[in-house]
Amino acid sequence: MEFDKQSLSLGVMEKITSLAKRRGFIFQGSEIYGGYQGFWDYGPLGVELKNNIKKEWWKSMVYEREDVVGMDASIIMNPKVWETSGHLKAFTDPLVECKKCHHRFKVETIEDKCADCGGEFTEPKTFNLMTEVFLGVTEPKEKAYLRGEITQGVFVNFKNVVDSTRVKIPFGIAQIGKAFRNEITPGNLTFRSREFEQMELEYFIKPDEKDSEKTFNDFKKIRMEWYMDMGIKKDKMRFHDHEPEKRAFYARYATDIEYEAPFGWSEFEGIHHRGDFDLKNHGLKYKDEMTNEEYTPWVIETSGGVDRALLFFLIDSYHEDGERVVLKLNPKLAPYKVAVFPLLKNKPELVGKARSVYSLLRTKYSSVWDDRGNIGKRYFAQDEIGTPWCVTVDFQSLDDDTVTVRDRDTVKQERIAIDKLSEYFQNGLI
């Protein structure tokens, strides 16, 4: 039974990988040069999906809250940041090496013997995950680091944000951006990459054990609900509290939001209570202007991976219905909202009318034109990339200015007036 379940699941991963490449979501980085392990490129549909995920996250974490502002810090920072933050010393993974084939593995992923050749393992050794870069033109070049988490850029700007805006504790700073880790075992498509994107909120509060516990629990709920609102099935997600010895070096306590991926329950977001660890290290304090009280705030962090979210949205929305493959993505996330077709491509009057509908919709919704093959094939092609609505201009459209709108999930068709289309799609995007 287990075997059947597993082989079925592995099949899903292969199908997602193939669809992602075939339809332009995810390509292997530097593919024509044999690829480069742990690096991925997003194609025309992938970039739309990724942008939509980031847009929806920003909307819910910044625009819909009064207590959060955003920022965008640089990827390379003064190396002193990483020395002070503890990353140069403590941002490590314990690894073992196979004595026979010399492949390295994370300690928590191994069995007794090497999975690649059956060899014995060495004792675990720690490896730093920070990616080094060298700057300057004269030797010796200056060693710096690509950021291992986007977070430190927020902490080192804490005072700048407080001084330049009207934020008062409690408040948050949100950021989305690239992070880099020298991962020794990248894999499962984009799940563990060397270059990836994070979407994070650092929420600053007055130090208080009880309050911080409440804030931590509130954010656990907020983040879990966001993934559900965006369409991930409830029974495919769970919280996983970290044992003290498994927590990151900066965390007082930590919980992961996990997804039941075909390769097992896997983290896609971490909620961390970072206490005063970071601001204290950087020597930064907050002064309450009302009371003149000065203190080092505590931080509750929500840290999600954009690439992991994208991968799990693809997996979770993947459906097969006979020959039909459907990505049942939330319309807000779908790369294209609308596809527009003329019923026949050799009838200029239909093509002209359909083109005018396409031009109208394109200004408001990410839309795509298709006039290849028959209508059934066009529907299938759009289902496979998650387009929620297909609009067909037919002969009746020429008489009464209506079109058929076909729904991806119900496959039902409705006749809608062209001047009501925008309202129709708007309602579907709420």
Residues forming the site for ligand GAP (CB under 6 A): 149, 151, 181, 183, 192-193, 196, 198, 200, 267-270, 301, 303-305, 307-308
Q: How far is the CB of 75 from ligand GAP (least distance, A)?
A: 14
Least Å from the CB of residue 228 to ligand GAP: 17
Q: Which is nearer to ligand GAP, 193 or 367 (CB)?
A: 193
Calculate Rg over the CA atoms of the chain: 25
Q: Tell me whether residue 61 or residue 351 sits nearer to ligand GAP (CB atom).
A: 61
SS (H, E, C) the chain: CHHHHHHHHHHHHHHHHHHHHHCCCEEECCHHHCCCCCCEEECHHHHHHHHHHHHHHHHHHHHCCCCEEECCCCCECCHHHHHHHCHHHHCEEEEEEECCCCCEEEHHHCCCCCCCCCCCECCCEEEECCEEEEECCCCCCEEEEECCCCHHHHHCCHHHHHHHCCCCCCEEEEEEEEEECCCCCCECCCCECCEEEEEEEEEEECCCHHHHHHHHHHHHHHHHHHHHHCCCCHHHEEEEECCHHHCCCCCCEEEEEEEEECCEEEEEEEEEEEECHHHHHCCCCEECCCCCCEECCEEEEEEEEHHHHHHHHHHHHEEEECCEEEECCCCCCCCCCEEEEECCCCCHHHHHHHHHHHHHHHCCCCEEECCCCCHHHHHHHHHHCCCCEEEEECHHHHHHCEEEEEECCCCCEEEEEHHHHHHHHHHHCC
Could you tell me if 254 and 242 are in contact, meaning their C-beta atoms sit under 8 angstroms apart?
yes
Q: What minimum distance in Å lies between the beta carbon of 181 and ligand GAP?
A: 5
CB of 202 to ligand GAP, least distance (A): 8
Q: Give 270 or 335: the residue with its C-beta nearer to ligand GAP.
A: 270
- Report, in Å, the least distance between residue 132 CB and ligand GAP: 17
User: From the CB of 233, what's the least distance to ligand GAP, in Å?
Assistant: 18
Q: Which is nearer to ligand GAP, 192 or 408 (CB)?
A: 192
> In the complex with ligand GAP, which residue's Cβ is closer, 303 or 402?
303
CB of 386 to ligand GAP, least distance (A): 22
- In 3D space, the residue among 322, 317, 347 whose CA is nearest the CA of residue 335 turns out to be 317
In the complex, minimum distance from the CB of residue 149 to ligand GAP, in angstroms, rounded to a whole number: 4
Residue type, 280: K
Residue 209 Cβ vs ligand GAP, minimum distance, rounded to whole Å: 22
State how far the alpha carbon of 361 is from the alpha carbons of 113, 410, 422, in Å.
58, 22, 7
Q: What is the nearest approach in angstroms of ligand GAP to the Cβ of residue 135?
A: 24
Identify which of residues 262 and 304 has a Cβ nearer to ligand GAP in the complex: 304
Q: Which is nearer to ligand GAP, 198 or 397 (CB)?
A: 198
* Paired residues of 240 in beta bridges: 256
Based on CB atoms, which residue is closest to ligand GAP, 259 or 336?
259
Least distance between ligand GAP and beta carbon 301 (Å): 6
Cis check: omega of the bond before 170, within 30 degrees of 0: yes
Residue nearest to ligand GAP as judged by C-beta position? 305
Q: What span, in angstroms and rounded, lies between the C-alpha atoms of 223 and 346?
A: 50
Q: Give whichever of 74 and 346 is closer to ligand GAP, judged by the CB atom.
A: 74
Alpha carbons 60 and 322: distance in angstroms, whole number: 36
Nearer to ligand GAP, 48 or 301 (CB): 301
The smaller minimum CB distance to ligand GAP, of residues 48 and 307, is found at 307
